[in-house]
Amino acid sequence: MRGVPAGADLWVFGYGSLMWDPGFHFAEVRSAALAGWRRRFAYRISGGRGTPEQPALMLSLEPGDGVCEGLAFRVAAEAVEHESACIWRREMVRGGYRPCLLPLATPQGPVRGVVFAANVDHPEHVGELPLDETVATIARAAGPLGTNRDYLEQLAQQLDWLGLADPYVLALQQRLRALEPEPGRG
């Protein structure tokens, strides 16, 4: 946050659950793309959608080829102090992310936004696992906030609704559905 000038608006990049449940007030939202990064289920957690006995995998933003598409939320300058505290409590509670200010491409022009990237030094950061291992973990994990499968399905649904293609998320969703039919589908 030190890189955000006092009295300026704050842009926040959403690439996972922030896209469908931001949990903070914003003045504007835009489609956004972050070059050189990609979504991966690479952060193992034993709370939320997992348990100590069956940890879940949550999204992290990993450096890599390509572009990660998501949403950029603009928090108005007068609300930055309060809303950034809300965002911080949500995203930084366990230290699994490393916030940084990065350039985001939007249809209305470039902005610099706070991006919650992977903290590769965190003990629960597992990096990119083989797809079958990722799918097996997502299929089994459930916790007080619901199932890991529901998180993946919500992500895929939001990306589809926004018209964004993410081959990694689609591959996970297809493998998960092949492994375990959706409830109510026999």
For the chain, the domains span 10-177
The pLDDT of 150-157, averaged and rounded, is: 96
Mean pLDDT of all residues belonging to the chain = 90
Q: What is the Cα 20 distance to its own chain's centre? A: 10
Residues classed as catalytic: 91
Confidence of residue 186 (pLDDT cuts 50, 70, 90): very low
Tokens 């990660």 -> residue: 68
Residues 6+ apart with CB under 8 A from 99: 1, 91, 92, 114, 115, 116, 117
DSSP 76: P
Least confident stretch, 7-11, 120-124, 138-142: 7-11
* Confidence at residue 14, expressed as pLDDT on a 0 to 100 scale: 95
HSE-up of residue 175 (Cα within 13 Å, Cβ side): 17
Please tell me the predicted confidence (pLDDT) of residue 81: 83
Task: Round to whole Å and give the CA distance between 57 and 42.
Answer: 6
Q: Does residue 49 contact residue 141 with C-beta atoms inside 8 Å? A: yes
The fold of 10-177 is Hypothetical upf0131 protein ytfp (3.10.490)
